[in-house]
Structure 1
Amino acid sequence: MPRRIPRALLPLLVGALATGLTVTGAAPALATSGPGSAGEPATTQGSAATATPESGAPEPTAPTPEPTPSATGTPSPSASPAPAPTTSPAPSASSQVEIAEDPSLATQNAARNHAMGSTIAANDPNSSAKSARGLSSFAGGLPPGVPGLDVSGWQVLTAANWRTIAANGAKFVYVKATESTDYKSSQFAEQYNDSYAAGLIHGAYHFATPNTSSGATQANYFVNNGGGWSADGRTLPPLLDIEYNPYGATCYGLSAAEMVSWIRDFSNTILARTGRLPAIYSTTDWWTRCTGNNPGFGANPLFIARYPSNISSGAGTLPAGWSNYSIWQYASSGIFPGDQDTFNGTLANLQQFASNGPIVEPMAAPVIGVGDFNGDGKPDLIGRRSNGALLFYAGTGSVTGMSTGYQSAQQIGTGWGVYDALVGTGDLNGDGKPDLLARRTNGTLWFYAGTGRVGGGSEGYAAAVQVGSGYDQYSQLVGAGDFTGDGKADVLGVKPDGTLWLLPGTGRAVANGIFGTPTQIGSSWNTWKVLLGVGDLDRDGKPDLVGIRADGTAGFYSGTWSAPYYKVAVPITIPGVSSTDVFAAPGDFDGDGIPDLLDRTVSGELRFIGGGQIAEGYAAGRVLSQNWASTSQVIPAGDIDGDGKPDVLTTGTDGSLYLHPGTRTSTVFGASVKIGSNWTVYSRVVATGDFNGDKKPDFLGIRPDGTLWFYAGTGKVGSGDEGYAKAVQIGHGWNVYSSIVGVGDLNGDGKNDLVAVRPDGVAMFYAGTGIADATHEGYKPAVQLGTGWNGGADLIGPKDFSGDGKADLITRTPDGTVTLKLGTGTVNGAKTFSRNALIGRGWSIFSSVAGVGDLDGDGKNDLVAVRPDGTVYFYSGTGDAGAVTTGYAKAAVAIGRGWDIFR
């Protein structure tokens, strides 16, 4: 067994060796253990368990990420769905060196040599640091990100030790250089240079003592003794280690204002000397106590310290001013000597961080659109939590105030934290089912074939197959769809230098054969914070790209299917974007035929951003001089009085039926005429247009008992004529429907039809026969149109609102969302309407809304709406409802909370 050297004796040992003394009984060895299979992904067969945010986090609202896993625990990680990596095996015990834990704080005080984080265990109530904690005791597995470490003079490491550290997976290190203005680490030069030679990205840190000298003085001392910076891509920014005072008062006797001034002095001096703002290492507790939680250092990279008892709880609440951390020190010991750290991103991100270039984060990684993963015809989502749990959200195909667009979560895997990127690629292997790619921090690429089924024993994907290596050269991997036009799904890669590479799909998911030869197809693509394959946004049949900058500006690239496969970028606007937001491209999430975006804010809110700027189809509302107080329903009756102008009927709460004759003047309506009473016997009155084939508009009444009554229009009002003949019963059982509307000639046969919706959202179509009387019902047996029509919604129609000559339908949900269903001129189940288009919000202020025909004589169909107080609004139609321009909706819609559990 290797022998341990107490770290308290290491400075003495170094001094003895320097003076030529012989020391016996000391056989230095670095105790490390290879990663083995720890953290391997494992599926939870058929599990419906869901995720729980960390303690203290706000509970998500259903059906956002689900709380509390089920009582049947997730299986421990195993070789499924990903086999053990084929990278270099862990070194054997004979090549390892064992290092004892850091000495006590008292010993460090006596030596005036403090390691980063040495004061945390005794002071920070939010950490549970334990000395010599081994890898196996990290509950929740290792955190996601790029692994690294930090060391001080208490670790004596040789060049061989550093090669072992690199072989065990470390990619970066911070090395202590100085403390105050009277200490320089005797190990700094060797640690700094040997780690670099072993391939690690390295950086230097300074342990601050703000009560001994000014910030500028200590910054200069630090830079003069190793704390510099170089834009070589291998050097981390200088690091200020500012934590609890090991010698006395926690905040060194400084007030919050004095401490902020000291840190600012140090930071500005480092910037002036090196051209780079220093990173700041601290804890949230110390920052709150000693700076008053000052938010003014958000431009400095944050190196947060928190030692949770369960790694899956994450880095915790960050100090004010930072929405995210760059590096997290999560344990005082583990795989590597010194403290255990992780960089928040990919290796390519780390290299960009070192070079001070813009970090292009793979923003789609925590939550991704995966296409129709469960085979129900609707696009779905997958989210990966920081503890490696993989959650599946089945899409509903509808986004309204009644539907968020997704169902409750199902947990479909664990251990996915070993990957630094997940990519929804579409069908890579040609079997017709969408697949997944996942990349490890070592650059290996793993393929998960989609099964097209989630639940009932299937997690939605087959066991992983390694299909390549070296993919850590890309800062982003983007599922682009069939970008080349050959019928196979392709992937794009962005490198840190900004070059864009096409990875053409082969249709075969085999090792080193999933893609053809990579081809560079662009440069300067690192100007985008995130690049998304969004699908066919401009509706030309070819997949497109959208790039988003940190300031929210965006560019649209129309796909061409010929080299370089995209057109010049066109600026577009994405509403309400912040530099901290993350994005997913889920495809057509709301069922309107246009691909959409999802945006997760730093607060965890999930927002829906509809594809295309959609024309509402009407001008701004205008208040009319009439007041229709006590109106219970507005009925678009057509030309009831036979003067060639469309009219409107209203029913009053007292049972009166009023005609409001259209004038096609600025007043819109003439004086109201009462043409009936006792209409309270009907729970609903429906305008049908010419339902009996006599060229005159008719209407129906539905009683609470479900009987259906037909009123044939006479085409005249006055001189004893009410405008309609005596009622004839033509049906029964119609009280099963919550909404009924005459939809005009929906199926194109020249006869007017009906659509009715049940409370459960099932929509039924009744084709008109053109004959309605005492012996003819006037309609054929019902045919189901579809489901998910939001039971309880109003149906508004029947008119051509889009200007294409086909009858459309408008729905209004109780929350005021107004949606246009564009008719196709035929009836074919769910394909009766080509797509849905959101054309309004806030219409719940009206008690009744009706599509009333062309009231103002401009050739376009209009709307009338009545408020509960009787105020009448007229909305002149524009004839282009649902028309789409390339881009995104003017406003984002919140569809969930608590999505910050995904990292």
Structure 2
Amino acid sequence: MDPRKNQPSHLVDEPGALAASGRSPATRARRTLVRVVTAIAALGAMIVGGAVPASAAPAGYSVAGTDVSNHDGTINWGDVAAKGVKFGWAKATEGLDFVDPQFNANYHGAKNNGVYIGAYAFGRPDKGVGTGKAQADYLVDHAQYVNDGKTLPLQLDIEWPWWTTAAPIYPCYGLSSSQMVTWIRDFVNEVKSRTGREAAIYTNPNWWNQCTGGNGSFSANALETSNYSGSPGALPAGWSRFTAWQYAGSSSSLPGSPTVFNGTLSDLAAFAGGGDLGVLEYYLSDSQGSSVATRPVIYYGSSPQIPIVGDWNGDGVDTVSTYDPTTSTFYISDNPVTGNAERVIRYGDPGAQPLVGDWDGDGKDNIGVKMGFTYYERTGPVSGAVENTVTVAFGDAPWLPVVGDWNGDGKDTISAYNPANGNFLLSDNPANGVAQYVIAYGNPNAIPLVGDWDGDGKDNIGVKMGATYYMRTGAVTGAIENTRSIGYGNTTGDLPVIGDWNGDGIDTQGLAR
């Protein structure tokens, strides 16, 4: 028998908390290699559907769930769903050499019964200071993650070592606080790189504050906190809110330990689908005359990432990708509907402004950044490690970067937009520092747009003001200012994206929110 089948995982907040939770060590050990956090519908919805809540949630929390251990074997998800369960996380891996034998059955059983499901890894920093990334890869490789609006973000379970209370493994796996922070950062960064979504973290304040030194830099990761004292209590350092709270021990009416979601059922659906908890949604149209999206919604990246657009592989079709200004990292994808970044490139300094353009005329877009009044063009393809850089000084620091092929030679050049007066300052040769074309268009502080609106191989300018996109179809070399306009999206909160989504040679509007 594999001894790991009886390993406990996802322990309570602190060994001393057992008295408060009323759980014996044997009961505590029951929470082993399949941990499923499941949430049920609000009470009114359960009454309509005939479902009976498994257990009463604490006052103020309408969406309840259960945490299932592998002592329950393969879960009867039809029964679980009939009792109101709506979503769950199932343990998939531990360390670098264990995959839970029930994970596949529970993952598909949940989905087949309409239950949102995700996967988590029990973190094992004792396997090596440098194994955070490898353990994240091991999870992603076995988690069957897809960004389909029905699968939860992957989760790291990081807490007390379940198998010992003896030093040096206990309590912090033999790592210093700085080593632990590095290990966790390596793990969550790799999950984000592989899936395009921030990893969730399960932990508790007593372990976290001790073993990370009270590190507060992980607030972008959704928190599931554990506390059996009757309230969520203090949260680990860095978090001001939790996403889920495991509040008690095992349940008699459902396998596992009850948990609540911090929000409404709509919030839960948004979390599973990405919407209101920071995941970027893209609404793209193939028609300049359409006020609604003509393509299915794409979920890719998350706040504070910035949407970017490029034809990365030269197939003539633009795809959305993202840039994270906090880490100066580009997350590039030729197929963002999967939610996965195929290439992750760190370039420039944090806080830089991202650039995208075909600097060398090979038909493939490259990346770059603007820092101050200096533009850095990375001429190596995004598919390779070559980072040759061309540096250009142009304009003033407050000006916003714009990029376009103004003369149809197949090469993009950097230019600028001055939000103070609404002027575009465009150049085919920005290295000389001179703007060849100065065009006043739109109101000051509009959002600048660039696109080939008419398919002639030359980029034109435009602006977004409120909820309206204005596309100037006249060439930048001339005075003609024919304009196409379309109302698209909301007045505030939407970020415009422009691209050739279908490869017809004409750029059209889109938005990210």
TM range (shorter): 0.3 to 0.5
Larger Rg: 1
